[in-house]
Chains A and B, each alone.
Chain A
Amino acid sequence: MADLREYPRDVEGSNISKIVVDRDLCIAAVSCLAVADEVWELDEENKVVAKNPNAMDDATIIASAEACPTKAIFVYDKEGNQVFPK
């Protein structure tokens, strides 16, 4: 089973309801952190966790997921559809 960690996002006007990190895929390349440093941080196990999934705007969150070289970050909209990776 994949080791998934979910981060609900509750920001007025945002179309993103949830961000999910597949911890098995995360290799701590920290590309996401470089794009959205207010959202992401590395935890004790050297995996990326969302310290504040409500920080920053939707475009920045998606850009941070796009930057991930292992595509370990999944973004869902308010209807529950996966909007990234498409």
Chain B
Amino acid sequence: MQHYTYVIIGGGIAGTTAAETIRKHDPKGSIAIVSDESHPLYSRVLLSKPKWVLGEQPFDNVWLKKDEWYEENNIHLFKGLRAMKLSAAKKTVELSDGDVLKYEKLLLATGTHKRMWDVKGADKKGIHYLRTVDDAKGINEVAQGKPKRVVMVGSACVSFEIIEILVAKGFHVTEVMREKYFFEPQLGAEEVAPIEQTLIDSGVEIIRESEIEEVLGGASVEGVRLKDGREIACEVILPLIGVVLPVEWVQKAGVATHKGIYANQYLETNVPDIWTAGDTTESWDSVLEETVIMGNWMSARLQGQVAGKNMTGAREAFEQVSFHTSHGFGYQIGWTGDVRPLPGREIIQYPTKEEKSSCRLIVVDGRVVGGTTVNRPDLMSAITKIIKEKIEVGSALEEIRKGTVDLKAIANTKRI
């Protein structure tokens, strides 16, 4: 058994930022990070960015920390090991090699795992996922090689970005989605229509509300058969179908979970001396007044910072109107705050004059909780401000819909 003051499960941006922050506030306490990957911290967002995927940026740009950084800061990084069992009573974590770590304070920053594609034949050669830097090597090799026929499964940001890269390199891409359109439900159908038209004009074939039943071929992929019997020939399949949140192992130890690991605004779980940060965190958001899972780089980093500081004795709240963006095919798409179109929420279309641009607000009881923009990145900061300052817009909804009031002007008033 090894003893550490601080044990951090997860070596991604949340866990590593937490370690860095702890070291700033506690120069002496021992710190261990447990990572099931064999690498120091790297940039997950770079894994789907064109210049890096195509090798126009050096591969090594992906690394955000070197091994020496861990040594210099006296942070022990357990590489390639998974945390298997948590005992909150004994304050121990058992690792996949049988070793046991005793902690005084624990951070759960596991992040998510890729959702595995559960289809007959999904073990054939030519199928690539994209979650880790090791996964990315497979896709980079495909993208940098001779153009092939690709079937993309999944219709969110990463799929969109990878399709752009492949199309630019002359690949033929068939998109097979369960959903009705790209980014559903993160964007509205009318916002996505021009984006999809651009994809179709670029030669991408889109098959909607459909699923693959079987991968065809011998050892290597030769095609897919859809549930309706149609067959599509291809050499490569990219099942980028989202992530799973590994919460069961902490649930067994009495940590309260829902979809993610529950936490209050201080990122404390229900169990003393256990905090959580990053993509598996489902924490109380005092701006939105609900518990939310953020799932993006920006929030994971800030949560790591806040949790790290709180583990050294502070009690700061995590407060952030989160946003993320996706770029491709000449579109810049932005999501701000909570954009889920849940029952009881009103979706307000704000008219933008420019071609191929749009903006919507997600409103609950006269308050904006989220917003989406297409090719209007300049509106994102206005939306962020309206959300953050809880500006009441209930009386102005009609004017917003008509575009007779400027969103930026609303953002600059406390009340309208």
Contacts and interface: CB of A to CB of B under 8 A. Distances in A.
Contacts of B332: 46
A67 B378 CA distance: 24
Contacts of A29: 45, 297-298, 301, 324
B297 A69 contact: yes
A71 B52 CA distance: 10
Interface residues of B, number: 27
B61 A71 contact: yes
Contacts of A67: 64
Interface band, chain A: 10 to 19
B43 to A, nearest CB: 4
A34 B13 CA distance: 13
Contact of B45 (A24, A42, A46, A69): A69
B380 interface: yes
B58 interface: yes
A25 B43 CA distance: 13
Contact of A25 (B49, B64, B377): B49
A70 interface: yes
Instruction: Tell me the dominant secondary structure on chain A's binding face.
Output: loop
A30 B298 contact: yes
A27 B49 CA distance: 10
B154 interface: no
A28 interface: yes
A45 interface: yes
The winner among A70, A71, A85 for most chain B CB atoms within 10 A is A71
Interface of B: 13, 43-46, 49, 51, 57-58, 60-61, 64, 297-298, 301-302, 305, 323-325, 327, 332, 334, 377-378, 380-381
9 contacts: A27-B324, A29-B45, A31-B297, A34-B302, A47-B377, A71-B57, A71-B61, A85-B58, A85-B61
